[in-house]
Amino acid sequence: MSAATSATETADTAAVRRAIASTARPPRPGRLATALTFGWRGMLKVKHVPEQLLDVTVTPVMFLLMFTYLFGGAIAGSTSAYLDYTLPGLLVMSVLFTTVYSGVSLNTDLTKGVVDRFRSLPIWRPAPLLGSLLGDSVRYVIAGTVIIVVGVALGYRPDAGVAGAVASLALVVVFSFGLSWFFCVLGLLLRSPNAVMNAGFMGIFPLTFLSNVFVDPATLPGPLQAFVDVNPISVLATACRSLMDGTPDGVAIGVSLAVAAGLAAVFLPLTTRLYRSR
């Protein structure tokens, strides 16, 4: 080893020793502070991995353009009439697609070993899960905003104006909170992030199509119509339409919130249990 190399090694060692020696353990942070720190981590991911956001926003925008201009005239008589009908539904679709990524990113953390680092820290156990959900909510809002803005650019004008759009977006985000716990369970059970993504979209894709997001169920055959009517995605889309139109449908809104609460009640405890035992 040359003299120069050993000199730098020594310098490194001295700096390392200083760095090691200089710490006293601070008091443990509070639960909320810990969860917020994980929320900050979630936002950093939105910043560093914008592709994820692109994936989930481009698909609904594509559907918006395709359905409006290709099928809109045939389905609703004119593209503008169809845009009025389908945009609230596409808002639902866009944000719900984003929830799949809650499960995907949880699974990624597990496979990469980051979760083990968090679990070896003296922190409030559910903080990483709650925190990442906070980060996810930013993603939901962005995904929803993109679709509304594109809709407005294409000529969509909600009767209830900005207030209607904000109310719909808020409802969809709340619903997504509930649904995302289901994908967290998938994220904890399946082996790879890709498996979570495939399983997630395999579920959410048909459910979105078998709803009133794209077509008025009145034209559907009986049994299918029965299914579409009880599909929670239909109910949520109906609730959003009513908010956008300025004629809030109390039942649809209530049912949407109840479904979200039910999903959270079942899958949140399951998620924390699986997370702990993993």
Chain residues in the site for other proteins (CB under 8 A): 9, 12-13, 15-23, 25-29, 33-34, 37, 40-41, 44-45, 48-49, 109, 112-114, 116-123
Nearest-approach distance from CB 33 to other proteins, in angstroms: 8
| Cα end-to-end span (Å), the chain | 46
Query: What distance in Å separates the CA atoms of residue 96 and residue 61, rounded to the nearest whole number?
Result: 14
- For 246, the 3-state DSSP assignment is coil
Which is closer to other proteins, CB of 101 or CB of 156?
101
Nearer to other proteins, 33 or 258 (CB): 33
Nearer to other proteins, 34 or 271 (CB): 34
Alpha carbon of 53 to those of 3, 90, 185, 276: distances in Å? 51, 16, 21, 29
Q: From the CB of residue 238, how many other CB atoms can be counted at a distance below 10 Å?
A: 22
Which residue number, 113 or 250, has a Cβ lying nearer to other proteins?
113
Task: Read off φ and ψ for residue 29, nearest 5 degrees.
Answer: -75, 160
Smallest distance, other proteins to C-beta of residue 109, A: 8
If the CB atoms of residues 44 and 152 are measured against other proteins, the closer one turns out to be 44
Q: How far is the CB of 275 from other proteins (least distance, A)?
A: 12
The label of the residue with tokens 């008091």 reads 27
For 118, residues 6+ apart whose C-beta sits below 8 A from its C-beta are: 128
At closest approach, how far in Å is the CB of 5 from other proteins? 9
| Closer Cβ to other proteins, 157 or 191, answer by number | 191
The angle formed by the CA atoms of residues 247, 89 and 144, to the nearest 5 degrees, is 95
What's the CA gap between 248 and 211, in Å, rounded? Answer: 20
Q: 10 Å Cβ neighbour count for 206?
A: 10
CB of 105 to other proteins, least distance (A): 9
User: Could you tell me the smallest distance in angstroms from the CB atom of residue 113 to other proteins?
Assistant: 4
